[in-house]
Structure 1
Amino acid sequence: MAGINSWPSRKLSYAGRAQLVQTVLFGVQSYWAQLFIIPAKVIKLIGELCRSYLWSGVGHITKKALVAWDKVCSPKSMGGMRLINMQLWNKATTAKLSWDLAHKEDKLWIKWVHNFYIKGKNPWPESKQASWMIRKTINGKHVVDHIQQLRSKKEV
């Protein structure tokens, strides 16, 4: 987040700061979220810093936002700025990791989780000794199953 303070924010409009937030900060978060689950507390802090930078041009939390963040994250056709809702994005990437766990067999981490936690059981067991990240990924299967049910109803 130190990079926020180095950007010449005084010369940027809201649209310019929104573009920086969207491409740089959310791009970094998007990349890391595809590799592992980012804790909710970290996502909240990143969101607060993004809001602060968007409204005031500084990289530290300064004041309340002028518009609700949900509104800012909504599509432009609905009056928003189409920024990414990082909490929703994190849920989507958790579901993606869970889908990978269910459908891909070629990655080392997937083989490891199957051998140590899932052990061929269906439905997947909940493991108390697993790390929070593994538990969250295994629990993400519920989201994947729900989406697959919706898709199959839509196809019928």
Structure 2
Amino acid sequence: MSRITIVHLNEKFFEEHAQHVEILKKPKRPHLVLILKIAQGTFAIPFRTSAHRPKTGRISHCFFFAKSGRKSLSTTGRIPALDFAKAVIVTEDDIGDVTRIDANEFKELQDHFREIETKFLNYLRYYVNSIKTQTNLDAPEIKYSSLQYFMDTLVEMDLEK
């Protein structure tokens, strides 16, 4: 896989996780995901067309696309983002067809790729620590995270590297 890989997850993945309500599913128009390899895992982070900014003082659960042009189209304060809280762990078998995103968003993704990796790793650490210490469990970025279905795998990862 190239450095920046954007795909759809295949139907088999969604069938295997049908009972997991926090995993984003859109049968008629599936979410695009960015594939990131972090620690010993392969993560699929969904692109969202309209995400909310986190409250002040909370860790960011998203990378927001500030320059794509679609931000100015929102009347509700929601903007395009990569939603870390809805990330899932995948295998090569789960990864479907490579696809494209808006050229402006791709450019911004390229320009901020290292920042995205760092922010996602920070979110993973925050999430795992919150679960282990039983803190922040009511925070939406913890309570509604898709990562809850992958805790057995997450706790085995060395996220400190």
Larger Rg: 1
TM-score normalised to the size of structure 2? 0.27
Identify, as 1 or 2, the structure richer in strand: 2
Kindly indicate whether structure 1 or structure 2 has the higher relative contact order, using CA contacts under 8 Å at least 6 residues apart.
2
Identify, as 1 or 2, the structure richer in helix: 1
TM-score normalised to the size of structure 1? 0.28
